Structure 1
């Protein structure tokens, strides 16, 4: 079985997320009665499904992604097609965007994936480094961890909404309760997302290892991460929050690492070269 560690972690986090969802469902039934249970189930499924579709669309829209023209970038299309075949997935849709910094991200699932690369990344990286980044993003699609991220965000949103309504319906409906509901919702959502963040950091290591295996060496991706990191630290531009968790690069040191979607880039580079 491939990536037992990742699958086990996804199963554990999935169970924890289901536990949060179950508590939220009980709270809703406590407020409105058990008769709303079917509506809770159907509404939640629809909510998460819509969020999955909308989240993908918003991620692409937030960076202004356009299709990567094959006549201008035939080598990239050829490499992605070859890598996809070797990795046992359908060739994803390739798009390009101006992100202000060199970066890339993937959305979707194995049969309907999309990989977005920034114009800055294609300008600054060598062809073998670009291939390392592309292999990393294809690994995310193959491992289905992108879907897990979106589902986790959906459950976190549902639980946060329920927490907010619980505060409003049990309070005095004054301005203090309104602000308290916002604070409780934010804290609740962050608590749920801590478990998703833990999976996100681990999945980056797995995708790095997969990319190194597919292209035969970890050096191209390590070199790419160095260039991306050095450029990002000298620029004020940042990727929209909508796609930050999905990108190949993100910061996370010290206490902030608990809330980071990425492990420290230095550790990733060390592993790739180790």
Structure 2
């Protein structure tokens, strides 16, 4: 069952399962226009050994009424920290999908390595964004083009896969958002890359480095792995793992493998 809590004047959806007696809580953060159901298949592999808090961003929970005030990544950071404080979560490891990673990195910087000792990023574009991606997030910000841009993104996420759990989530569960939310997602993603250059640059700028692991299936290009390897050489606290998945959603498509990667990160 999804619970809700009113924090910072808005309703935040979440659930809280399992107990962490000897280690940090795992906090699962979805991408834009997705909710905590993105982690339904991963959750059973985690909650027997960890306390797991799954978070919905403001406007992404049971009530999808568009919010009057504007907001973005900084408010997502504020909301998530407020929720974890209210739940009396002390040390925690964010496990974020896609551009939920910007929130993960923002919390890591604000709270420090003692409270956020590690981060796991799932399938985030770690380099400066390709031109076609930049064009897509800009198209999301126009009323004339946002629907086609959303459709194109969905197709790229599925990458012609017929994986039923991924299709179930992307085509049927991840709904209820109109132009307001999709335009905001495009704006905030574009702003994050414009501000930091890339997630790798953002990680390198953290005041306190700590173990970070990127787990991904896309894009399927050897040069992408080479960029990761070079970044790891310069930053030994960083590691990565390419999975043999078909889609942009390894946590749905390959939950057992992702859970193993989380255990690897926690052992570093």
Shorter-normalised TM-score: what interval?
A: under 0.3
Please, what TM-score do these two structures have when normalized by structure 1? 0.24
Give the structure with higher Rg (CA).
Answer: 1
Please, what TM-score do these two structures have when normalized by structure 2? 0.24
